[in-house]
Amino acid sequence: MPNVFIIILNWNGYQDTAECLRSVRRLTYPSCKVIVVDNGSSDGSVAKLKEEFKEVFYIENKENLGFATGNNVGISYALENGADYILLLNNDTVVERYFLDALARVAESDERIGIVGPKIYAGMPESSVLWGAGGEIDWGHGRTYHTGYHETDHGQWDKIRDVDYVSGCAMLIKRKVLEDVGLLDERYFLYYEETDFCMRANRTGFRVVYVPDAKIWHKAFATTGGENGPVYTYYMTRNRLLFMRRYLDDASWRRFIPYFYYEGLLRRSAFLLFKGQDRGKSLNALWAGWRDFRRERFYKGPDWLHQL
């Protein structure tokens, strides 16, 4: 039975993380160890978690290192301590008790399968509305999207299939992938790092596979303020450009950039001005993301961005 290390990233999120850990406690998979990597929380959540979940191993970062670096700290520990697989699991998720069994079964069925991900529902366990059934990349428009997003689940995505990427909110990774491909790219800080990682794995010869029998529920944007807020806007703008520049050839990049100017900057600016959350700040975040990409500044973003 492969040994799985489950890594859950916490940042000022006791309630979400505790709910996630309670669901993880109910997993039927017999060989797993849980690691909570705290990303510089200041709300006392670590002490509360340690009191309730004494079986969990804790790693405490002194500051918010972002999704990529924070998870890399946990991944490095897991690799050093004999993990066969590593499961990255968002703290704002609730998992079905058999989901890890289903993921591991598919991952073990073919040595070429390097990464697997579950069917993800939006909201809490009573929800049948999909958040994602695997991920696809629209290279022409520079877009990534979750298959089945906001559809009611009627079994239309119940086939195991290869996908471009699986969401980082629940991604089971074979040890060999990390040994051959490396860790998450820390330039992204937040968003697109899992897409980049899956792309690197695929180009190294590994399959990325969606497993519908594995099911979780995801309270999206629990810590980032929504898809029209400044945090999401900044990172999705900057990192979308970083990702596309990394993987498009020069001719495709030259075709993409005029489209991005129109759709990603001008139309997006108009939308945020009238419908964005914290409109002025979201608009500033959009253009800050563009400027930082141009300047090759890949870091946690400007200080004002995180003063929510």
56: CATH: 3.90.550.60
pLDDT above 60 for 221: no
- Mean pLDDT over 221-248 rounds to 86
**Percentage with pLDDT > 90 across the chain:** 90
Confidence of residue 308 (pLDDT cuts 50, 70, 90): low
| Cα 209 from chain centroid (whole Å) | 15
Among 218, 243, 269, the domain boundary falls at 218
CB-CB contact of 94 with 125 (8 Å): yes
Q: Is residue 171 assigned to a domain?
A: yes
On whether both 195 and 274 belong to a single domain, the answer is no
CA 181/CA 178 separation, integer angstroms = 5
On whether both 26 and 154 belong to a single domain, the answer is yes
On whether both 178 and 271 belong to a single domain, the answer is no
Q: Is residue 223 assigned to a domain?
A: no
126-184 per-position pLDDT tens digit: 899 999 999 999 999 999 999 999 999 999 999 999 999 999 999 999 999 999 999 99
* Pair of tokens at residue 49: 């978690």
- Sign of the torsion formed by the C-alpha atoms of 222, 35, 165 and 216: negative
On whether both 70 and 29 belong to a single domain, the answer is yes
pLDDT above 80 for 40: yes
93-114 per-position pLDDT tens digit: 999 999 999 999 999 999 999 9
pLDDT above 70 for 306: yes
Q: Is residue 224 assigned to a domain?
A: no
On whether both 166 and 241 belong to a single domain, the answer is no
119 CB-near residues (< 8 Å, 6+ apart): 130, 132, 133, 153, 157, 210, 211, 212, 213, 214, 215, 216
On whether both 209 and 265 belong to a single domain, the answer is no
Q: What are phi and psi of 10, to 5 degrees?
A: -115, 135
On whether both 240 and 196 belong to a single domain, the answer is no
Q: Which residues of 221-237 are buried (b: 16+ CB within 10 A; e: fewer)?
A: eebbbbebbbbbbbbbb
Q: Is residue 225 assigned to a domain?
A: no
DSSP state, residue 185: -
* Amino acid of residue 195: T
* Cα R_g (the chain), whole angstroms: 19
CB-CB contact of 55 with 27 (8 Å): no
On whether both 162 and 65 belong to a single domain, the answer is yes
CA 98/CA 103 separation, integer angstroms = 9
Among 218, 245, 269, the domain boundary falls at 218
* Full domain range(s) for residue 282: 230-306
